[in-house]
Chains A and B, each alone.
Chain A
């Protein structure tokens, strides 16, 4: 039995019913295309999230309110006082700078441009924690925080957005939530992409933010606190120190759980990895369901084909075809169908992810697509497996036809 002859013959009988063959593989095409597109987009989204997290810096610890792992009774808000306690405490010897952040959203207007976005209320140490350099002007000073000044520092993309240029904007005024703010500085571009680009940030003194932006909870509540470490190798020690200080400030009795959460870059990366894994499995699952449906389509059509060609099967058996010959003949057809569908699907999936990444890039979120060899191989193998799995039953049925009855079939 010659495998090439088999393939040739299978192509012959599939192309005798071109439209039917094409419609049959549609399920596989859609399944594989969605697997390829979703996996590659999911992967590149994951990459860009990871890149984002890495840009936080390895020496920064995030302090967030609440505890996601344990039930906390009567949790306290994070406040400015917590930040001050951390900065002042001699116990927190591994901590270099502490930067409380109050965020809220407001409408920003400049000339005829207006946009609603979130504003960061910060202290001067924020500059040190995030290693922000100034392109022009100065960062927000302690005196401005003290005096609740109406001053603002813009990320370079915002300067570009409001003034069409990123230099020479210091001294101008923009309105935030209706109040005029004097621009005192523009930060240097840091790059980074997608979801949380620091170049898009708008900074005002934390006292001003707390007074003028909408808030809830304690009067000096902050959403989170950033702390930079003196030595990033001592993350565990630094985290222990922060815990000790915050537990004391929050008056948490021994053996009660924390009412705050401490995360460093490693933790974020771990969380992001979990999220992207779940995303990948989820998206892959959607594709797998389409493949399943496609496979059932192939099985259906192969059953029809076996019935239609009963006489042919009888003839082949009369001429000496053994069970395996017939089995292989029909399996070849179903595998070719699904492999062909798989290839079209790979091409289509590639095209879809390219288009999506183009759209993302045009709309300001560069998304590097990565159709990996792995996903192509996976899709190819998977569609071949679908062909074998769903082709086996019809092929087996053909192989087990009794030659006498098959020959007599009208």
Chain B
């Protein structure tokens, strides 16, 4: 595999939080790569540095040390507004809590990332396409409180897709759903990966969810404990 095929390259990523006098080592030098089109699950108990790693990969926070290349670009040294742009163009977030704007329609929620990228000629069309891809073409004018949990998460996935990102970063995507809806959401994510080749990173503690990934990385105490390749 050549370097260009890696969508994520992480080298010796370290994060130290300063909590008053105490230094907390949340990540102690983590290195791994993610190939284009891969499905990767990150698992680990609480306190393992799972959330910290996800924040780094999501460009929501910057590492203390180490390099992070996303889509060929070194992003670990970028500052606030540059990171915002990277998040906007390259990362699609799916959260456990859905995080939809409560007063906005499904369509408006999906259009939101496009507003921050500016130069889109037809944001409405792009948003409608994304909603169709998650099977909600008939729910575009509904507000979150008029949708089921599964449907809300679909809207969130459509929002993640709309800017055609390099990776989709899903943080416990099924954590707030019943098992049936959760299964459907996972199926949807996997089919999007199959059909569009979107790289998918899932942070979860649910072994069943992780079981659908090609590769699982187990974190413990800020280090990669082991790595299993499923298929």
Contacts and interface: CB of A to CB of B under 8 A. Distances in A.
Nearest to B80: A323
B84 interface: yes
Interface string A231-268: 00000000000000000000000000000000000000
B116 A320 contact: yes
A5 B111 CA distance: 11
A321 B84 CA distance: 6
B172 interface: no
Interface string A42-60: 0000000000000000000
Contacts of B81: 322-324
Interface in B64-106: 80-81, 84-85, 87-89, 93, 95, 99, 101, 103-104
Interface string A1-19: 1100100000011001000
Contact of B60 (A16, A311, A407): A407
A324 B116 CA distance: 11
Given A1-B115, A2-B115, A316-B112, A322 B84 contact: yes
A91 B61 CA distance: 94
Interface string B106-138: 000000110111100000000000000000000
Interface string B145-187: 0000000000000010001000000000000000000000000
A319 interface: yes
Nearest to B89: A320
Contacts of B95: 315, 407
Contacts of A221: none
B201 to A, nearest CB: 14
Contacts of B85: 320, 322
Given A321-B84, A321-B116, A322-B85, A16 B103 contact: yes
Contacts of A407: 60, 95, 99
A220 interface: no
A281 interface: no
B61 A320 contact: no
Contacts of B55: 404
Contacts of A16: 103
A212 B89 CA distance: 97
Contact size class for B?
20 to 34
A403 interface: yes
Nearest to A15: B103
Contact of A312 (B87, B101, B115): B101
A320 B101 contact: no
Given A320-B117, A323-B80, A404-B55, A315 B99 contact: yes
A321 B159 CA distance: 14
B93 A404 contact: no
**Interface SS majority for chain B:** helix
B46 to A, nearest CB: 13
A322 B61 contact: no
Contacts of B87: 317-320
B93 A319 contact: yes
Contacts of A321: 84, 116
A169 B149 CA distance: 93
A325 interface: yes
B222 interface: no
Contacts of A316: 112, 116
Contacts of B60: 317-318, 403-404, 407
Nearest to A317: B84
B58 interface: yes
A323 B84 CA distance: 9
A402 B61 CA distance: 8
Nearest to A400: B80
B112 A319 contact: yes
A9 to B, nearest CB: 8
A322 B116 contact: yes
A40 B122 CA distance: 50
Given A1-B118, A319-B116, A319-B159, A12 B84 contact: no
Of A12, A319, A321, A402, chain B has the most CB atoms within 10 Å of the CB of A319
B113 A319 contact: yes
Query: Of A2, A16, A322, which is in contact with the most chain B CB atoms at under 10 Å from its CB?
Result: A322
16 contacts: A12-B103, A315-B101, A318-B58, A318-B93, A319-B93, A319-B112, A319-B116, A320-B84, A320-B88, A320-B113, A322-B85, A323-B81, A323-B84, A325-B116, A404-B55, A404-B60
Question: 7 smallest A-B Cβ distances: which pairs?
Answer: A320-B88, A320-B116, A319-B113, A322-B81, A322-B84, A315-B99, A403-B60
Interface of A: 1-2, 5, 12-13, 16, 311-312, 315-325, 402-404, 407
Interface of B: 55, 58, 60-61, 80-81, 84-85, 87-89, 93, 95, 99, 101, 103-104, 112-113, 115-118, 159, 163
